[in-house]
Amino acid sequence: MAQFYRTAARNAVWRLVLSLAIVSCSWWVWGAVVPTSDGLTWPGKIAWNDSLLIDPDGFVGKAPLLNSGVWTWITTIFGMPIFSVFAYRTTPRHCPACSCGTNGNNSKIVGGEEAAIGQYPWMVALYYSNRFICGGTLINDRYVLTAAHCVFGSDRSRFRVKFLMHDRLVPKEDSFERKVSYIMTNWFVNVLVFITNDVALLKLSEPVPLGDTITPVCLPPEGNSYAGKEGIVTGWGKRGDGSFPMQLQEVHVPILANEECHNQTQYFRFQINDRMMCAGIPEGGKDSCQGDSGGPLHVYDLDANRYVIAGVVSWGFGCAQAGFPGIYARVNRFISWINFNTRDACLCH
């Protein structure tokens, strides 16, 4: 049973610390709220009491009817956090019509190294204590999708999300930044073998004004493997000569089916699961690299004339090495989790 206790303040943060048990291949969780940082009393009044089912992938299967404010669910095993989920119930917002996955000039660059200015208006640069660390992708007016390993265990107050950046050394006049209000991860990691569930959502301190200059990328439909499609990775990661570019770069790589990744690369089968995808060429030479983490692996939808984010740059063995394509978090395996945790945002279609 999951017991949710209300604190004294109406809009206070609710923290639910959960225990975990595995029953019949499903995860059942239960627990109770602990005091929040503002020192409010506990347990207070029970606001909701019901069973909460977590599926084998670790995602919430049944959500409570929330009161106004913020709820934080932190799942732990032996006191170690596995993932946290933030849920919101807010006053409905007026959301103007907008499009995703398009840029101002509606063009597409094929090949090349430096991306065209304004080609990927959803691309963001993550800074931590004034130092560039990772990329990220705007998916609506309030949330950025990035890799969990870029933000896990970090102090959100030290993050800055920079928008409309092309040259990190010479920002454009219309570049701007946002602070981070919340960090949401769904994470389980074995640092000796692989990283899985490597996705995180950053809630921005205030919404981003969407329009012709800045638009979010489109989220993918569930079930599409994108095997055989051309993927486009963008970021400020390390180049083949070992240098880090100041200008936004792009690289085009073929997306492999997971079975191809199992059979035609040097990764062990157990290292690649269905929440991951491989992209690269067998002989190496083209890949994402250090500094690209958290950034998008796009697919360009020719029929709809827009970009869709298929993956998030996650990990790999070296950079552009033969037999070791890049590994990406498969975004459409996290769509339910993303939609659930971004319900207070304005969406573009």
Q: What are phi and psi of 331, to 5 degrees?
A: -65, -40
CATH class of segment(s) 230-331: mainly beta
| Cα 142 from Cα 131, distance rounded (Å) | 22
161-203: pLDDT as tens digits: 999 999 999 988 899 999 999 999 865 544 444 578 899 999 9
Domain ranges of the chain: 2-89, 123-218+334-341, 230-331
Q: What are phi and psi of 71, to 5 degrees?
A: -110, 140
57-102: pLDDT as tens digits: 443 333 333 333 444 444 444 444 444 444 444 556 789 899 999 9
pLDDT at 237: 84
In the residue annotation, 141 being an active-site residue is answered as no
Average model confidence (pLDDT) across the chain: 74
In the residue annotation, 287 being an active-site residue is answered as no
Cβ neighbours around 243 below 10 Å, total: 8
236-266: pLDDT as tens digits: 987 666 677 899 999 999 999 999 988 888 7
Are β-strands 2-6 and 13-23 bridged in parallel, bridged antiparallel, or unpaired? unpaired
Query: Maximum Cα–Cα distance for the chain, whole Å?
Result: 62
pTM surpassing 0.85? no
Q: Which of 198, 287, 292, 344 is catalytic?
A: 198
Kindly give, in sequence order, each residue whose CB lies less than 8 Å from that of residue 283, ignoring residues fewer than 6 positions away.
322
**CATH architecture for segment(s) 123-218+334-341:** Beta Barrel (2.40)
Q: Residues 118, 342, 96, CA angle at the centre, nearest 5°?
A: 60
DSSP state for residue 206 in the 8-state scheme:
S
Q: Which of 84, 141, 166, 293 is catalytic?
A: 293
Tell me: pLDDT of 147 over 80.
Answer: yes
Q: Which of 141, 149, 292, 344 is catalytic?
A: 149
Q: Residues 34, 37, 42, CA angle at the centre, nearest 5°?
A: 35
Amino acid identity at 124: V
In the residue annotation, 293 being an active-site residue is answered as yes
pLDDT at 216: 98
> Average pLDDT in the 120-134 region?
97
